[in-house]
Chains A and B, each alone.
Chain A
Amino acid sequence: MSSGNGKRGEPRVTIGRRDFFKVYASAGVAVLQGCRRRDQELIESPVRRSTALPGASVWRRSICEQCGAGCEIEVRTVDRLAKKIEGLPDGFVNAGGVCALGHSALQELYHPDRVTEPMRRGSSGELEPVSWEEALETAATAIAAAPDATTVVAGAPSGPLLGLWRRVAATVGAPPPVHWQPADGIVEREAARLAFGESTRPAYDLARSDYVVSVGAPFLDRWRSPVHFGAAWAELTADRRGKLVQVEARHSLTAANADEWLPVRPGSEGVLARGLAGLLMASGKFPEDARAAYEALYAEAPPDLAATAERCGIDAGRIERLAAELARARRPLVMAGGSAFEGESGVAAGAAALALNLLLGAVGRDGGVFAGIDFGFEDRLAGEAAAALPPAALADRLAGEGESGVLVVSEADPLHGVPGLEAAFERAGTVVVLSAFFDDTTSRADVVLPVQTDLERFQAVEPDPVRGVPALLIASPTVAPRGEARHPGDVALALAAAAGSALPWPGFQEAVESALSGAFAATRAAGGGASGPVALPASLVAGALNARQFVRRTTDAGGLVGTEEMRRAPAGPASGDADEAPGPIPDPASLPAPAAPVGVEAFTLIPFESLKLADGRGANRPWLQELPDPLSTVMWGSWVEVATADADRLGIRTGDIVRLTGTAAEIELPAIVLPTVRPGSIGVPVGGGHADYGRYARRRGVNVNALLDPDRRVAGAGAFARGDLRVRVERLRRPRRSERPVIYGRGLRQAEEIPVGWAPHDSGPAHAALPESGFVRRLGHPRRAAAAPTREEKA
């Protein structure tokens, strides 16, 4: 069903079924003018032969792997060059939407500074191009010489590729790979394990809820799947049916869009959740078993209102009203996530927020929270190999590693992400990096293996389980790879083979097909109806005669997609996959509050992922660098958000260069004074200040990760703690011309004043009916005050 794809309106020659790929041949779409193209770019594609006419648009389905959300996309190709990315209208996660980062995958693909040939550090100390054989030989020799001392760091989201890395690591005799991922996801899993008894990222049914309290989850910014949650939020708030309350210290984009924003004191999110629980239980509106389930989690009683208000810095009346609204709501839901849970006690805070769902009866009901289940293809590919390690394990391993150590880093940039690893990288015998760019880590590599980007790859992705419905999405390459870039999975297999422990598959695609084939066999063997980690739901394999046909059908159909019926509630604290017996979980309210600020310049630093740069991977795309951050409106580079009150006190004006001093490092960057920042806290986007990463990212902005203390960990999660960091802030100077933050549309003069309180669309009435075209038939006055909900557009 691809009616929505008729957007181009080009006559269509449908070639495949269900969006596997679509071919739109156009008679009339000639190159209008001006598109200069180099002939050498028109390399014959070894991947597929196009049936299209020259100059005609061919739309190919692909999967966006810019983050783990797994949005299905369509790529417009003309003459085998990718031109445009659109969301697949019936995409499993995104339903037609694409985010800014997703669009920019094109600029990753065609980046002028891509690594397109293997390189090896020569005798001169410089990286020199070598053949794939030589590069693999060098890497494999080092691995084979010291398999125990080999550390694999895999940056891919969880799913089949991570499974393959686990398998490869186990095969060559190396310890399990370190899964380089944001702390937030690990904390969320751990919190879910504590609250729900199942260590999966919870799935939220925002769209069908009517009252959502998001404790810290910046789901409209850059958290899990902003496209999916954006659409869900739009449904939630359509006609102002439902309400979103954002409990977050930083005024994120989500907070900006929320119907109500509670700017809690940083690190007190969990306390607020506990306080709310106390009020909700006192309201007596919830069934006894829900109360019991909640109370069983905690040894302590929830804090009282006054204590909560005091700890959170929020007016008690507001908390009370919030609790009352929550209690009255028909289908309330509490979400948890974000930088708030990356503090040392993040797991406790996250669990406290998630546990509210038990009380609200939101677990497993429409408009509530579900288990984030998948088809388990990571494990299917991993086989018997052990689970991947959390990021902090890298630091621990490196600390104990000698000079013979081998580091294999695939699609991750740990040197940008965490300070203090440089020395270990220097010490390591051989650093092998699989990357498409010279990022901070790649620049220190001894062997660089160029990998393909999203659109060049065979893709098998298990999307972020935001919907609670399992899926495995598969897509073929959309365009020919640039230069000699290879699939990272293929490289992993080639490394294993070169190291003398070959796996049965020549490439990643074969590995995935083999896993599919195995899943088919296991499902048939389980004899229908069975489900679980081994077998697939029987409905998915019904109709296929044999494994071969099943694999063919699955890949042709673009993967396996579950149904709404497969959604289920988490196992529950009593019975789940928690190893230990259920018992009291840490209560954030009884943990000590983060140390009070020392002196007037001590601020809580809130590093956040902006929708431009994400964790830093967006920094090399000119589109994203030049994209104004929606709130600070800064383009190109980093900034620190300072509250108006603090700025007045410290004499900081927008644009001033300020110095942030952490325990081990200091950074200097321009200040943006905003009325929305919670006094006492400052926000800095991560992802700037790359040592390298191509011409658009190199030394652009500053890397706030430098302020992190690598020894601080999120308790119980094995992740580096990024939250609750104390820094000193001091004003240095007015910026020089070249230091001024690039603020959208606001020149030299207004860099200091951001218009506040003047929304011009509220300043005057709309005009009367138009004599010329008559298209506006009614005089529409903007209604500032609450108007009765209207449904007219929805009809």
Chain B
Amino acid sequence: MTDRPQASARALDGELLGRLDRRRSGLLVGSLASGVLVLVFFYCWGYQIANGIGVTGINRPVFWGFYIINFVFWIGISHAGTLISAILRVTKAEWRRPVTRSAEAITLFALAIGGLFPLIHLGRVAIFYYMIPYPNSRMLWPNFRSPLVWDIAAITTYIIGSALYLFLPLIPDAAVMRDRAAAGLKKRFYAVLALGWRGTAQQWHSLEWGIRILAVAIIPVAVSVHTIVSWDFAMTQTPGWKSTIFGPYFVVGAIFSGIAVLMIAMALLRRGLALDRFLTDRVFNNLGLLFVTMSLVWGYFTFAEHLTVWYSGDLFEKNVHHVLLHGDFAVPFWTMVVVNLVIPVAVLSFPRGRRPLPTALVGCGVLVGMWLERFLIVVPALSTPRLAYSIGDYLPSWVELGIMIGAIGVFACLYFTFTQLLPIVSVWEMREGWRHAAGGGESGQPSGAAPASPAAASPVAGGGAA
């Protein structure tokens, strides 16, 4: 009775390990290509540090520009992983298994980049550490009343939490890599990462506890991070920013853009690593449903946001509202609405739209749309201050564009390297899934395999019920 599933699981096991073992030249090429962008990133940043923050296009009154937009954007992307993977883990959704690792990696790298942007943005980056609370000779600690210090607290927590949340489930897989590697540098590398993991019952038990607690703990952290990012805006007096809805609005937007980038990453991984037996259509279908839900929720928030402004008739708020909907920012605004709401709903409402390619394409659109959303939050409000005499405008400089594109390169480079070095699909969690499937006895098919089989749904259902 257990023969067949076991044999099947062994086969899948072997296949998965084989996939991970195989060297992918595409990944190497990707790493190198994105490495060039990494150089662009650091050249532009170095140029800015050498010449002054004035090499950007920001001005008065638009004191914040691309850097803050990208900061919010990347922090939003970071919600791809940890939050989504945590939610799925907490709800014990079986189909999370092939997804979590890649999602968590996205989080960590996006967060690292997002966390850099406020530093890039500083006028005097050399003394950024003034914001960090530590005993110092200046006799003054940071001002905890500033949302920026909340940001530091939240992002530090989130980045540490995300790194650990990525790392903890990675330990058994590092041990797998270690034990499969021939002696040498590679083995030593994995040995360091594995920390002496052997897979004993106590280790598994503690690990499961740890993951369970982290998954629960990381959700409120993730929510707080983007809420606090939104408070960088909502705490001000600035018309167009001062809004109570911003916290949840930003969180939803973050998850939305996070899923978008996750869809893209998974589609690429599935294709690039031929992981279609593991990242099944079922996974895409489920994520696609979540995606369209977030799109609708985002649309709801956007509507609510602008409805209240429009209805209130507040002079200053209406000025911002006007340039957004009808004025100079109308084109990006309506583009945003189309790619964030109209297209996702139109495509993802149909099962056929929830296949890898369409979801990835929709995800690309949403990324653009969510970037635009951040742009439309930052720039129109600042360029339309209360005193009309100071009305201004903003065009980014090549330095800002270089850093923005470079940051994408940094992300890609990190991600490619990570994929090359470590299992991008969590091996032990897959194994656990297959074991559950086998143990559940409802089906001979392990989770994730044989997408065409109607029985494939059972692990998901079973997981949900458990």
Using a CB–CB distance below 8 Å, which chain A residues touch chain B?
633, 744-750, 755, 758, 760, 763
Using known A-B contacts A760-B386, A760-B387, determine if residue A746 contacts B392 with beta carbons closer than 8 Å.
yes
B411 in the interface (beta carbon within 8 A):
no
Mask, B111-129, CB within 8 Å of A = 1, is: 0000000000000000000
B391 in the interface (beta carbon within 8 A):
yes
Interface of A is mostly: loop
B393 in the interface (beta carbon within 8 A):
yes
Contact present for B389 and A745 (CB under 8 Å): yes
Contact present for B315 and A763 (CB under 8 Å): yes
A745–B388 Cα distance when bound, in Å, is 9
Contact present for B62 and A755 (CB under 8 Å): no
Of the A-B pairs whose beta carbons lie under 8 Å apart in the complex, a sample of 6, sorted by A's number, is A746-B389, A746-B392, A749-B393, A750-B391, A750-B392, A758-B388
B308 in the interface (beta carbon within 8 A):
no
Which of A744, A745, A758, A763 has the most chain B CB within a 10 Å cutoff? A745
B29 in the interface (beta carbon within 8 A):
no
A755–B61 Cα distance when bound, in Å, is 16
Q: Collect the chain A residues with CB atoms within 8 Å of residue B59's CB.
A: 747
Contact present for A747 and B389 (CB under 8 Å): no
Contact present for B383 and A760 (CB under 8 Å): no
Contact present for B315 and A747 (CB under 8 Å): no
Selected from B62, B328, B386, B391, the residue in CB contact (under 8 A) with A746 is B391
B371 in the interface (beta carbon within 8 A):
no
Q: Collect the chain A residues with CB atoms within 8 Å of residue B394's CB.
A: 747
Q: Collect the chain B residues with CB atoms within 8 Å of residue A755's CB.
A: 388-389, 391
Q: Collect the chain B residues with CB atoms within 8 Å of residue A744's CB.
A: 389
Further contacts, 5 of them, CB under 8 A, given A755-B388, A760-B388:
A744-B389, A747-B59, A747-B392, A749-B391, A758-B388
Chain B residue nearest to A746 in the complex (CB): B391
- When A and B form their complex, which 8 residue pairs have the shortest distance between CB atoms, in order from nearest? A747-B393, A749-B393, A747-B392, A755-B388, A748-B393, A750-B391, A745-B390, A749-B328
Which of B59, B328, B391, B394 has the most chain A CB within a 10 Å cutoff? B391
Docked complex: B17-67 residues within 8 A CB-CB of A:
59-62
B346 in the interface (beta carbon within 8 A):
no
Mask, B378-407, CB within 8 Å of A = 1, is: 000001001111111111000000000000
A749–B383 Cα distance when bound, in Å, is 9
Q: Collect the chain A residues with CB atoms within 8 Å of residue B328's CB.
A: 749
A748–B60 Cα distance when bound, in Å, is 12
Instruction: Return A634 CB to nearest CB of chain B, in Å.
Output: 14
Chain A residue nearest to B62 in the complex (CB): A747
A755–B62 Cα distance when bound, in Å, is 18
A731–B388 Cα distance when bound, in Å, is 28
A633–B388 Cα distance when bound, in Å, is 13
Contact present for A748 and B395 (CB under 8 Å): yes
Chain B residue nearest to A745 in the complex (CB): B390
Q: Collect the chain B residues with CB atoms within 8 Å of residue A745's CB.
A: 60-61, 389-392
Instruction: Return A734 CB to nearest CB of chain B, in Å.
Output: 15
Interface of B is mostly: loop
Chain A residue nearest to B327 in the complex (CB): A749
Selected from A633, A747, A758, A763, the residue in CB contact (under 8 A) with B383 is A747
Chain A residue nearest to B60 in the complex (CB): A745
Q: Collect the chain B residues with CB atoms within 8 Å of residue A763's CB.
A: 315
Q: Collect the chain B residues with CB atoms within 8 Å of residue A760's CB.
A: 386-388
Using known A-B contacts A745-B60, A745-B61, A763-B315, determine if residue A750 contacts B393 with beta carbons closer than 8 Å.
yes
A745–B384 Cα distance when bound, in Å, is 11
A749–B328 Cα distance when bound, in Å, is 8
Q: Collect the chain B residues with CB atoms within 8 Å of residue A750's CB.
A: 391-393
A749–B315 Cα distance when bound, in Å, is 20
Chain A residue nearest to B385 in the complex (CB): A745
A747–B390 Cα distance when bound, in Å, is 9
Instruction: Return A412 CB to nearest CB of chain B, in Å.
Output: 38
A763–B388 Cα distance when bound, in Å, is 12
A747–B389 Cα distance when bound, in Å, is 11
Instruction: Return B237 CB to nearest CB of chain A, in Å.
Output: 14
Chain B residue nearest to A628 in the complex (CB): B389
A471–B284 Cα distance when bound, in Å, is 93
Q: Collect the chain A residues with CB atoms within 8 Å of residue B387's CB.
A: 760
Contact present for A747 and B388 (CB under 8 Å): no
A760–B62 Cα distance when bound, in Å, is 20
Mask, B320-348, CB within 8 Å of A = 1, is: 00000000100000000000000000000
Chain B residue nearest to A753 in the complex (CB): B391
A745–B390 Cα distance when bound, in Å, is 5
Q: Collect the chain A residues with CB atoms within 8 Å of residue B395's CB.
A: 748
Instruction: Return B194 CB to nearest CB of chain A, in Å.
Output: 55
A718–B410 Cα distance when bound, in Å, is 74
A61–B395 Cα distance when bound, in Å, is 48
Q: Collect the chain A residues with CB atoms within 8 Å of residue B392's CB.
A: 745-747, 749-750
A746–B60 Cα distance when bound, in Å, is 9
A463–B105 Cα distance when bound, in Å, is 79
A554–B387 Cα distance when bound, in Å, is 52
A746–B388 Cα distance when bound, in Å, is 9
Q: Collect the chain A residues with CB atoms within 8 Å of residue B393's CB.
A: 747-750
Instruction: Return B172 CB to nearest CB of chain A, in Å.
Output: 56
Chain B residue nearest to A751 in the complex (CB): B393
Which of B328, B386, B393 has the most chain A CB within a 10 Å cutoff? B393
A485–B391 Cα distance when bound, in Å, is 46
Instruction: Return A105 CB to nearest CB of chain B, in Å.
Output: 29
Q: Collect the chain B residues with CB atoms within 8 Å of residue A748's CB.
A: 393, 395
Q: Collect the chain A residues with CB atoms within 8 Å of residue B391's CB.
A: 745-747, 749-750, 755
Chain B residue nearest to A761 in the complex (CB): B387
Instruction: Return B45 CB to nearest CB of chain A, in Å.
Output: 25
Which of B59, B383, B387, B388 has the most chain A CB within a 10 Å cutoff? B388
Chain A residue nearest to B393 in the complex (CB): A747
Instruction: Return B49 CB to nearest CB of chain A, in Å.
Output: 21
Which of A744, A746, A749, A760 has the most chain B CB within a 10 Å cutoff? A749
A755–B391 Cα distance when bound, in Å, is 9
A744–B389 Cα distance when bound, in Å, is 8
A744–B205 Cα distance when bound, in Å, is 67
A193–B62 Cα distance when bound, in Å, is 57
Instruction: Return A466 CB to nearest CB of chain B, in Å.
Output: 33
Instruction: Return B62 CB to nearest CB of chain A, in Å.
Output: 7
Mask, B131-160, CB within 8 Å of A = 1, is: 000000000000000000000000000000
Q: Collect the chain A residues with CB atoms within 8 Å of residue B386's CB.
A: 760
Instruction: Return B247 CB to nearest CB of chain A, in Å.
Output: 28
Mask, B285-297, CB within 8 Å of A = 1, is: 0000000000000
A760–B388 Cα distance when bound, in Å, is 8
Chain A residue nearest to B315 in the complex (CB): A763
Chain A residue nearest to B388 in the complex (CB): A755
Chain B residue nearest to A747 in the complex (CB): B393
A763–B394 Cα distance when bound, in Å, is 27
Instruction: Return A477 CB to nearest CB of chain B, in Å.
Output: 39
A760–B389 Cα distance when bound, in Å, is 10
Q: Collect the chain A residues with CB atoms within 8 Å of residue B62's CB.
A: 747
A745–B328 Cα distance when bound, in Å, is 17
Mask, B51-90, CB within 8 Å of A = 1, is: 0000000011110000000000000000000000000000
Instruction: Return A739 CB to nearest CB of chain B, in Å.
Output: 16
Instruction: Return B330 CB to nearest CB of chain A, in Å.
Output: 12
Q: Collect the chain A residues with CB atoms within 8 Å of residue B60's CB.
A: 745
Instruction: Return A738 CB to nearest CB of chain B, in Å.
Output: 14
A2–B422 Cα distance when bound, in Å, is 82
Chain A residue nearest to B394 in the complex (CB): A747
Q: Collect the chain B residues with CB atoms within 8 Å of residue A747's CB.
A: 59, 62, 383, 391-394
A763–B313 Cα distance when bound, in Å, is 14
Instruction: Return B228 CB to nearest CB of chain A, in Å.
Output: 29
Instruction: Return A430 CB to nearest CB of chain B, in Å.
Output: 48
Q: Collect the chain B residues with CB atoms within 8 Å of residue A758's CB.
A: 388
Instruction: Return B328 CB to nearest CB of chain A, in Å.
Output: 5
Instruction: Return B387 CB to nearest CB of chain A, in Å.
Output: 6
Q: Collect the chain B residues with CB atoms within 8 Å of residue A746's CB.
A: 389, 391-392
A473–B61 Cα distance when bound, in Å, is 46
Instruction: Return B379 CB to nearest CB of chain A, in Å.
Output: 10
A748–B383 Cα distance when bound, in Å, is 11
